[in-house]
Structure formats: C-alpha cells, structure tokens
Amino acid sequence: MTWSTQITQLLDIKYPIIQAPMFGVTTPQMVAGASETGALGTLALGDLSYEKCMDAIEATRRLTTQPFAVNIFVNSIPEVSENLRSQYSKVSSFIATLAHQHGLEVVLPRLEEIHLTDYKDQIAAIIASKCKIVSFTFGNLDSQSIALLKENGTVLIGTCTSLAEALLLEASGIDIICVQGLEAGGHRGSFQATVIPQIGGLSLLSQVYDHVNKPLIYAGGIYNARTLLAAQQLGAAGFQVGSLLLKSRESALLDFEKQHLSQVKESDIVLTRSFSGRFTRAITNTFIKTVDGTDYILPYPYQNKLTNALRRAAKAKGNTDFVGIWVGQSIHSYRDGSTGDILQELIREVEEATG
C-alpha cells in the first residue's frame, strides 16, 4: 500500500492514521506515542480552560517534536434559565440518591459552581501555543474563528455525521473532513445534540466522497487491515482509530476499566445520553439503564459536569456500573502494549495485506 495521501501531505506525517481525540482517555503520552510512530496524535482539550490547554499542549511538546493535532468542542451552551435551575436540582437529587443506594457517596456541584469554557478562549491558547492542526466536533467553528486560525496557518479538521454537515463544513472552508460513522465509539460529533443522524459509516463515507471535494478521514470501526482498507476503497485518505487504543499503556483508563473491555458483548454497546446529555456510544451499565429514557438528563454540558463527580467516585471503587466507558461497535481483542506498538502492528497488517 502507498501510504502517501492528501492527508499525509497536508499534515506532514508518514502514515495517514489519526489517533482519535478521546477526552478522558487520551494523554500527552498517547499523543506523543502516535506521533512518534509517524501517525498523527491528537490531544483532546475538551472543555479545558485557557491555562489547562496551555499546560496540556506544553506537556505533549515535551514528549515529541513531531506534528500533533489538538481537538476542541464547539457546541453552543444553553442559557441558565429558571427551568434549567429547577431541572438541575431535580436531576442532582436523583443522582445523589441513586449513588447512595449503590454505596457511592458523592458531593455534586451546585449549578453556580460549574465552570463552562468558551471555545474561543481555547483558540486563543492554541494560537499562543503555535499549534498548526486543529480538529473540532459538535458543530462548526464560527466564521471569525475560522478566519483567525487560517491567518495563523492552521489546518482545520471538522467532524460530520451526515452529508448535510459535510457540505456545511466544506462551504465554510474547512480543510479536511472527518466522517464519523454511527458505529464509532465515544460522542457523536453531530451538529445537534439530541436529534442525531444515524447513518452507518461506510454508507456515509461513500456519500460524502461523491459530493464533497475535500480530503476525508474516516472514523468508525477501524481496528485491523480489512476495516482500514474497506474505508480506503470508499474514498478515505485518512483513518482514525480510537477504540483500538483503549487498552494501550498510555490510555487514561484504569486497570479495572481495561479489564472490563475483555468481557464486552455486541449487545452491551449502546448509544446513550445518560452521562453527558449528548449521544455517546458506550458500554451499558446500571446508570445507563436507569437513566436512559427518563427526565433525569440535562442538556450538554450540564449533565456531563454533574455526572463527573459520580464517575470519579465509581472509579475510586472500581465500580463499572457508574463509569462511562466509550467504545465502538467493532468488538476485538483491544490490544495491550504501547500506543506506538499497537499502531505499528496495524501498519504491518495493512502492508502485508496489500503486498
């Protein structure tokens, strides 16, 4: 296989393989491991403050001199209304009671204590840190931010979960589009939070390739040579892997969470809004089964902030029923070893399969 594509040329990398930006799982060590392999590591900034963005970028820079991307969330934030205050109180009380019933004592934040980050502050940190590759999800950047980043020579990677979203990204001048199939693990990158496109990855990739004139990265279910080559045949010039790295040495998942992956069955992997308020593909558990389909789900990011304390308490006790483990539909062995070794193994498989 010839690894050189539009993606490798635009991003100045050897292999068109992108380590997925898994906020809460990705570490500077994982990012550096991917980039040192010749792939593109991606540092997930999520909703970190300006200062924490600067710290995370600097920590990653200390580990690698190779290119890496940073990833941000560009969702809108619902206003704090009386209705939201009332709903927050109800959901907070419900979660506290549920946690207590299962032996978890949590101190949940009051609504006034929640800090929410404006992604424009993150962009300021990104420019100050001279990061030249920025990917984003949960919508599109505003036109002023696009212009500002472009002026600073930044390559922009947007995420789509439908053809309509891809066309909007193309029209706004985004350089590369990441096509996220429904089977991908983690949060849906859709522009809308609660009504999402449910389009299988290969079907979506083929449609976007036919209608959009931008280099495409495909994300969703890639874990071996066959799945990568299938995406290549349908027009992908880059290949994003996430679940493949969940058990890597550099993953922030704790040992009990990594061990839980070996027990997962296809029926255990579900789409849920219970933990964050946005749809996420995850391993089902008691919390998801209890909360999904109820009124105890706040808009993102308030639900996400509220359940953080619950998840921390569950992690401290090794309790898989109240942690969120995001994972895609392609069940596999979830390889052990370093990020670099796992990616090198994937590269070798592809080269052997293609002669």
At 186-196, the pLDDT tens digits run 999 999 999 99
Report whether pLDDT(332) > 90: no
Q: Same structural domain for residues 208 and 102?
A: no
Q: Same structural domain for residues 28 and 161?
A: yes
Q: What is the rounded CA–CA span in Å between residue 61 and residue 36? A: 12
Q: What is the rounded CA–CA span in Å between residue 18 and residue 334? A: 17
Q: Same structural domain for residues 3 and 69?
A: yes
Q: Same structural domain for residues 11 and 35?
A: yes
Q: Same structural domain for residues 127 and 46?
A: yes
Average pLDDT, stretch 342-353?
Answer: 98
How many domains are there within the chain?
2
Q: Same structural domain for residues 73 and 221?
A: yes
- For the ranges 81-85, 115-119, 218-222, the lowest mean pLDDT is seen at 115-119
Query: CB neighbours (10 Å) of residue 192?
Result: 16
Q: Same structural domain for residues 55 and 137?
A: yes
CATH number at residue 53: 3.20.20.70
Report whether pLDDT(160) > 90: yes
Mean model confidence pLDDT for the chain: 97
Average pLDDT, stretch 87-96?
Answer: 98
pLDDT (0 to 100) of residue 1: 79
pLDDT (0 to 100) of residue 104: 96
Q: 124 lies in which domain range?
A: 1-77+116-247+333-355
Q: Which amino acid is at 301?
A: P
Give percent above pLDDT 90 in the chain: 97
pLDDT (0 to 100) of residue 242: 97
Average pLDDT, stretch 276-295?
Answer: 97
Report whether pLDDT(125) > 90: yes
pLDDT (0 to 100) of residue 257: 98
Average pLDDT, stretch 150-178?
Answer: 98
Phi, psi of 71 (to 5 degrees): -125, 135
Q: Same structural domain for residues 109 and 120?
A: no
Average pLDDT, stretch 222-231?
Answer: 97
Average pLDDT, stretch 67-91?
Answer: 96
pTM of the model: 0.97
pLDDT band at residue 333 under the 50/70/90 scheme: confident
Q: Encode pLDDT of 233-265 as tens digits.
A: 999 999 999 999 999 999 999 999 999 999 999
Q: Same structural domain for residues 228 and 110?
A: no
Phi, psi of 82 (to 5 degrees): -65, -35
Report whether pLDDT(355) > 90: no
Q: Same structural domain for residues 129 and 185?
A: yes
Q: Same structural domain for residues 4 and 108?
A: no
Q: Same structural domain for residues 339 and 213?
A: yes
